[in-house]
Amino acid sequence: MRTLSAFILFILILFQSCQSQEKMITTSIHYSAQTRGYIYSIQLEKNILEINNNNTIKKIELSKIPLLEINQALDEIDFNEIKNNISIDDLAVDKAIKGVLKVHFKEKNFENEFNHNSLPNDIKELFKLLEAYLN
């Protein structure tokens, strides 16, 4: 009986672990900001993180811990409160660079457009975290 209970517990833990791993894998982050003479992009798909900083491209395969950290960071961001802050009038005279952020997290899609040089603090912190894995 004890063996059976331990076996069931093991199966349950395994199932939970697989589920959370599945959730982590389905998290994706895509950000791209471009203007004449400048490009910056972040791509996190499954466990591959790639950052293009003005054509200096760095790529890494992330282990479980960084993926958990990224998910935790995303969890702390209230995407419903994040405001788009790009002005078409600034874009029209090249005063600003438009950055488009697309996040898939906890089975929800979020999309925002920012002034790349004036990112909301939460997003700036998220990018710092991602950049740190490549330094």
Q: What residues line the site for other proteins (CB under 8 A)?
A: 33-38, 40, 54, 79-97, 102, 108-113, 116-117
Nearest CB to other proteins, comparing residues 54 and 56? 54
Nearest CB to other proteins, comparing residues 3 and 56? 56
Shortest Å, Cβ 75 to other proteins: 14
| Amino acid in position 39 | I
Shortest Å, Cβ 107 to other proteins: 12
Shortest Å, Cβ 125 to other proteins: 18
By CB atoms closer than 10 A (0-12, 13-18, 19+), residue 19 is exposed
Cα→Cα distances 19→5, 10, 37, 40, 44, Å: 21, 14, 43, 33, 19
Shortest Å, Cβ 31 to other proteins: 14
Nearest CB to other proteins, comparing residues 19 and 109? 109
- Beta strand 56-61 pairing with 98-105: unpaired
**CA–CA gap between residue 105 and residue 44 (Å, rounded):** 12
Nearest CB to other proteins, comparing residues 69 and 90? 90
CA quadruple 86, 87, 91, 96: dihedral sign:
negative
